[in-house]
Structure 1
Amino acid sequence: MYRVRFPHETTLCVIHMSCVCETCMFVNTATTQEDQIISTLEQNRVAVIVGAAGCGKSTRAPAAILRHYGATTSAIVSEPRRVAAIGLAERVASELGEEVGESIGYQVRLHSKPPKPPGGSILYCTSGVLLRRLQSNPGLEGCTHVIIDEAHERDVNTDVTLLLLKRALDINAALKVVIMSATLDTGVFTKYFNECPIVEVPGRTFPVEVSYLEDIQKRFGLTLPYTTEMSNKEDGRPQVKCQEVAELIKAVDRKEKEGAILVFLPGWSEIKLTKQLLDEHYGQSSMHMILPVHSRLSTTDQAKMFATPSPGIRKIVLATNVAETSITIPDVVYVIDSGAHKENRIKDGTGTASLETVWVSLAGAKQRTGRAGRVQPGHCYRMYSKEKEADFVPHTTPEILRIPLVQTVLDCKSYAPHEKIASFLSQLPEPPSDKSIRFAVNDLVELGALTPSEQLTRVGSILSSVSLHPRLAHSVLQSTILGNVVAATYMAAHCSTHTELFWNAADRRD
């Protein structure tokens, strides 16, 4: 049953759907839901699809477009992460009975298996790859559909992509755009592409029981003093005690039935320490599969989380918010949520970027909970109190509003070389402040990347082509003159990957 609301004439539409898991989307109403998406695209050039994480929109919506439009389809699906782009391409190809590289392909940095023409095709790629295409082909000529997945994450690349796609629609009359989100906060997207009607496609979900910190301690007979102290603080950033996280993991393993455990931790140092504690406890046990998931790991290592263990073997996945959206681990029954994640933010006083550990948003906590019980009822253990949760912000602040804009401004000159930067950025869904734009422009003028009139210099062109922050790229460029390239390259590589200098760095922080 659908509820369609048309406030007035428009060229846009929102499709709202929720379901239980990747494999069951469109079950029972498969033809109806696919037809609803196709009919929306037939009548409109832009659509917003909203469905809970894991409902299958990332795989089934592109496949539905390919089935309907056939050999004329040339679709691009943008994903925020490499592992999602590759994993989804493999999944869709498998469901179509193909190998990756036939009608379904992927392209990420330094690795690609593009689809082979002729015939319809879907290319899964990262947002950076799509931005490069828009830079060289502003109208995306030859492309019929662009799908922006996980748009609710609101990273800088997504916001800039939306701006460029809005312009591409004016250039390429054949282009259609689909924006997919896992949260109900779609107002910013519908407003950006003019107010639009809403089509809701309801689905069913398995229940997920939620336990907060006090209930967790009673349920398992645990004492978690440090976690309790962090939860009771009225303000300040969260700090995760890995020993207490490990204790909860062991308690869930001992007392709960079979099912994978997904643990959300803020960063690599916490993942590494927690894995070390679990390895020491379980030793060489063949009954436990402990898998870390982090963006610094290879795609092959990250893909291990999708493996289904033999009966009786407990899979424990230690992940950052990379597992919050984009990817679905079907056999997860238990989620342990530390309540923390890392965000890039402007450091007060210096204006530089700082990767800080902060509390998740209410929407993020809901996403994490939804990862439990994709195919059966699940349980989420939140390592914070209900009172602390009441202090969480509703949604994560868009990245463009909380980071230095030096890299963004330099990239913008590549997309729109003849426009004033403030004018270009003012057209984003939620523009940054004039102060942050001026700070970034002045920084680039000081580096010699921009002229005072905001024209891109030769140095700026070189810096924009290097996959490093402009200041790091400038230091490497300067080192070629001074004759110390190796040392500068090592330092730039270290700074760009946020590698810790000390093995106990997490414990050394305040």
Structure 2
Amino acid sequence: MSEKGPGAAPREIKPVMLKQAEKLMGEIRGCDRGHLKRDLERIKKARRKTKDSSDSHAALEKLISGLKASAEERRRRMSTPPDTSYPAELPIVVRREEIVDAIRKNQVIVLSGETGSGKTTQIPKMCIEAGRGVDGLIGCTQPRRIAAITVAERIAEELKNPELVGCKIRFHDSSKAPNYIRVMTDGILLAEAQGHPALNAYDTLIIDEAHERSLNIDVLLGMVRKLIDRRRNLKVIITSATLDTQKFSKHFRDAPIIEVSGRTYPVEIRYEEPVEGSDRENAASSLAERTAVAISSLIKESRSGDILAFLPTEIDIRETMMIAGREFA
């Protein structure tokens, strides 16, 4: 607290303090640099305007304390990154070294991985292994809220530390200072960009499920394309579940493409005739019955393994469960 009063001498800012602050500015985390630099400029401006710089002196002491804390956090993250391990059964793990090396050497990479390859949960951890998450968060966008929640939970479970992963969706934000990774909906990142166009909170951005090409995703791709010219230290990974990756690569100046296989077991595809009839209730009932019949047929063929059935609505799911329950009661 600064002292003021008839007998109190003004506390002047010594040049050595300003030099210390400017030196520390080059050692802090990138996510802190913007607001701390603005604070330093305000202090310099106030110092030039008034002879009594007691308030500026106190503000500079506080700023130097913040700079030291940020620099120390950056050193800690560089020297002791979180331990990363990978499930050996996921196809993407075979390409781990190649992907980590590509992240280190390129500002943008495009990764194509079929469903089941493990790209969504493993790429953020590979970013940590590549040295990301030091100057800012590793941001990972998801098209849907439930996906953001479940992905964040899964990554935290694999890292064995929930403090390392935050989740931010509408009306819910579990982000904390120790976070390395933030999983969020694409709409959340767009909202953040309105207030902070440079997105300095992040040193890495993963745009997941880019093949969906929703309006939010397309806007994000355009925004990030401009942002990488302003922020050369920003890394961007675009992931897609389709092989149509050339468009994404071309959009980002022929960014390198890495393709990862998805299935680790043979898959047989069988097709059923579409449900006929215009009456919605009858169609729903028919869908539930046909699904239950298909499940029964699969079980009769083989008792090994599990069955996962996807249905369009909760009503369809409940009706199928009821019919299947009677079948196997």
TM value normalised by structure 2: 0.64
**Paired residues for 1:96-115 under 5 Å:** 96-99=159-162, 102-115=163-176
What residue number does 1:44 align with? 106
Residue 51 of structure 1: how far off its partner (Å): 0.2
- Determine which of 161, 180, 193 is the counterpart of 1:121: 180
Residue 52 of structure 1: how far off its partner (Å): 0.3
What residue number does 2:214 align with? 155
Count of residue pairs brought into register by the alignment: 236
Change (3 A) 1:206 1:82: same
- Separation in 2 of the partners of 1:239 and 1:248? 14
- Determine which of 272, 275, 280 is the counterpart of 1:227: 275
**Paired residues for 1:70-469 under 5 Å:** 72=134, 74-99=137-162, 102-117=163-178, 121-202=180-261, 205-213=264-272, 227=275, 241-255=283-297, 256=299, 257=303, 259-265=306-312, 268=313, 271-272=314-315, 274-275=316-317, 277-278=319-320, 281=323
Does the aligned pair in 1 maintain the 2:206–2:238 contact within 8 Å?
yes
SS at match of 2:206: strand
SS at match of 1:107: strand
Change (3 A) 1:278 1:196: closer
Change (3 A) 1:138 1:41: same
What residue number does 2:125 align with? 63
- Separation in 1 of the partners of 2:318 and 2:127? 45
Does the aligned pair in 2 maintain the 1:49–1:178 contact within 8 Å?
yes
Amino acid at match of 1:260: I
Residue 277 of structure 1: how far off its partner (Å): 3.2
SS at match of 2:200: coil
Residue 37 of structure 1: how far off its partner (Å): 1.3
- Separation in 2 of the partners of 1:109 and 1:128? 9
Change (3 A) 1:176 1:187: same
Deviations 1:375-410 (A, max 9, x none): xxxxxxxxxxxxxxxxxxxxxxxxxxxxxxxxxxxx
- Separation in 2 of the partners of 1:130 and 1:71? 17
Change (3 A) 1:57 1:241: same
After TM superposition, which residue ranges in structure 1, 4 or more long, deviate above 3 angstroms? 196-204, 275-283
- Separation in 2 of the partners of 1:260 and 1:213? 17
SS at match of 1:208: coil
- Separation in 2 of the partners of 1:279 and 1:264? 11
Amino acid at match of 1:66: I
Deviations 1:226-274 (A, max 9, x none): 72579xxxxxxx9981122112222133232352332232xx4xx42x2
Residue 38 of structure 1: how far off its partner (Å): 1.9
Moved more, 198-207 or 154-163: 198-207
- Separation in 2 of the partners of 1:281 and 1:113? 40
Q: Which structure's residues are more often helix, by fraction?
A: 2
- Separation in 1 of the partners of 2:132 and 2:95? 18
SS at match of 2:310: strand
What residue number does 2:14 align with? none
Change (3 A) 1:186 1:264: farther
What is the RMSD computed on CA atoms of the aligned residues?
Answer: 3.0
Does the aligned pair in 2 maintain the 1:26–1:34 contact within 8 Å?
no
- Separation in 1 of the partners of 2:283 and 2:293? 16
Residue 71 of structure 1: how far off its partner (Å): 5.7
Does the aligned pair in 2 maintain the 1:148–1:179 contact within 8 Å?
yes
- Separation in 2 of the partners of 1:123 and 1:106? 6
Residue 138 of structure 1: how far off its partner (Å): 1.2
Residue 126 of structure 1: how far off its partner (Å): 0.3
Deviations 1:70-108 (A, max 9, x none): 661521000000111110111011011112xx1111100
SS at match of 1:211: coil
Does the aligned pair in 2 maintain the 1:106–1:115 contact within 8 Å?
no
Change (3 A) 1:26 1:35: same
The alignment status of 1:34 with 2:96, answered yes or no, reads yes
Change (3 A) 1:208 1:138: same
- Separation in 2 of the partners of 1:87 and 1:276? 23
Q: Which structure's residues are more often strand, by fraction?
A: 1
Residue 276 of structure 1: how far off its partner (Å): 5.0
Change (3 A) 1:67 1:197: closer
- Separation in 2 of the partners of 1:39 and 1:239? 54
Does the aligned pair in 1 maintain the 2:111–2:257 contact within 8 Å?
no
Deviations 1:332-360 (A, max 9, x none): xxxxxxxxxxxxxxxxxxxxxxxxxxxxx
- Separation in 2 of the partners of 1:204 and 1:253? 22
Change (3 A) 1:188 1:126: same
Deviations 1:474-503 (A, max 9, x none): xxxxxxxxxxxxxxxxxxxxxxxxxxxxxx
Percent identity over the alignment is: 32
Change (3 A) 1:71 1:202: closer
Q: Tell which has more relative contact order, 1 or 2 (C-alpha 8 A, sep 6+).
A: 2
Change (3 A) 1:239 1:164: farther
- Separation in 1 of the partners of 2:308 and 2:101? 40
Change (3 A) 1:48 1:198: closer
- Separation in 1 of the partners of 2:145 and 2:246? 27
Does the aligned pair in 2 maintain the 1:140–1:172 contact within 8 Å?
no
SS at match of 1:263: coil
